[in-house]
Amino acid sequence: MATHFASRPEAEPRPGGPGLRRRMATDMVGTGVLWLATALTVGVLLWVLGYAAVQGFRYLGPEFLTSTPPGDPSRAGGGFLNGIIGSLIVVGLATVVAVPLGVGAAVYVVEYGGRLARAVDFLTDLLIGIPAIVTGAFVYALWVTRFGFSGYAGAISLALVMLPLIVRATAEILCLVPRDLREAGLALGVTPARTIVSVVLPTAMGGITTGIMLAVARAMGETAPLLLTALGNDLFVETHPDHRMSTLSLQIFSNAITGFEAAQARAWAGALTLVILVLLCTAVARFVARRSSVTGAR
């Protein structure tokens, strides 16, 4: 006579068994590693910012923001007014060039696609990975050898640094815009171009602005491409981009490599000023991102 055996309860995984304990142990180890990595990252950032603040506040003052460096780098006093003004001009020109090109390229890649869009996407990834000094050498070969060192050359090099960052950030934000909004515009008989201008871009404007501000912060701290393009001018304030111009990053570099304590003190004050400007750009980007309906929905 056949005998049917019921399934044994012992064959089922029991709560609190070895498998569960192993998964809990793995989870605890993974969580601990993540916490350690986060603590190390935050610690390094705080250490860098704190050290720059301690060294910079020793010299930073009204005179530093309103005067130019002394003719003799070994003398104390003076400031980086020409570098601050030069940074605002050069980075401002670079932003004027990079923003429309970057946003337009991102719109074409996301909204239209095709072979050209794939090529633009590939070139964007390539430009992001190219060192900034290579970009400076490229502008030097094409522009500086013909027209000389100038603020325009520096702006072009920084625009090339900013361009792929703006394209990538804008493309990612545009991909987050719900397709229903596009389809609603098309259903009303609106052309695709008008839908992009009137619906898609306003919806993603907060995220696009965030990407632009982060690219501006990146360009503000670049030194290598400016050494081959703007070159610097520590003697007086230069406001015409057709001439050699100083920036904060160039003045920090030129003063830091000297053996004079006064020049190195000015370099630390300039570094703190640059950090403050970058933090302001980042804070503006974060503020705009919180007000964006696209980034806020993520």
- Domains in the chain, number: 1
Read off the DSSP letter of residue 70: P
CATH number, domain of 172, equals 1.10.3720.10
Residue 293: inside a domain, yes or no? Answer: yes
Is 29 a member of any domain? Answer: no
Encoded amino acid at 176, one letter: L
Neighbours of 100 (CB within 10 A): 11
- Is residue 117 within 8 Å of 105, Cβ to Cβ? no
Q: How far is CA 279 from CA 143, 218, 275, in A?
A: 32, 11, 6
Q: How confident is the model at residue 293 (pLDDT cuts 50, 70, 90)?
A: low
**Structure tokens that stand for 96 in this block:** 């004027």
**53 in a structural domain:** no
Range(s) of the domain holding residue 274: 77-297
Q: What's residue 249's pLDDT?
A: 94
274 domain-assigned: yes
Query: What's the whole-number mean pLDDT along residues 254-262?
Result: 91
Kindly report which listed range (29-38, 92-101, 279-288) carries the lowest average pLDDT score: 279-288
- What is the mean pLDDT of the segment spanning 45-66? 91
Q: What's the Cα-to-Cα distance from 237 to each of 37, 71, 83, 95, rounded to whole Å?
A: 44, 13, 8, 21
The answer to whether residue 44 is domain-embedded is: no
Q: Within a domain: residue 180?
A: yes
Give the residue, 179 or 6, on which the prediction is more confident. 179
Q: How confident is the model at residue 298 (pLDDT cuts 50, 70, 90)?
A: very low
What amino acid occupies position 297?
A
Average pLDDT over residues 278-298: 71
The answer for residues whose C-beta is within 8 angstroms of residue 56's C-beta and 6 or more apart is 268, 269, 270, 271, 272, 273, 275
What is the pLDDT averaged over residues 79-87?
A: 94
Q: For residues 43-59, give the mean pLDDT.
A: 92
Q: Mean per-residue pLDDT for 6-31?
A: 72
CA 197 to chain centre: 25
Residue 108 has pLDDT above 50, yes or no: yes
Which residues have CB under 8 Å from 103's CB, separation 6+? 166, 170, 201, 208
Q: From CA 23, how far away is CA 30, in angstroms rounded? A: 10
Tens of pLDDT, residues 126-185: 999 899 999 999 999 999 999 999 999 999 999 999 999 999 999 999 999 998 988 888
Stronger pLDDT, 18 or 37, i.e. the higher one: 37
Question: What does the pLDDT read at residue 292?
Answer: 62
| pLDDT given at position 272 | 94
Whether residue 47 is contained in a domain is answered as no
The Cα 258–Cα 266 span in angstroms is: 11
Residues in the chain, how many?
298
Within a domain: 262: yes
Per-residue exposure over 151-181, b if at least 16 CB sit within 10 Å of its own CB, e if not: bbbbbbbbbbbbbbbbbbbbbbbbeebeeee
The answer on pLDDT for 5 being more than 60 is: no
Region 271-284 average pLDDT: 89
Per-residue pLDDT tens over the stretch 190-205:
888 999 998 899 889 8
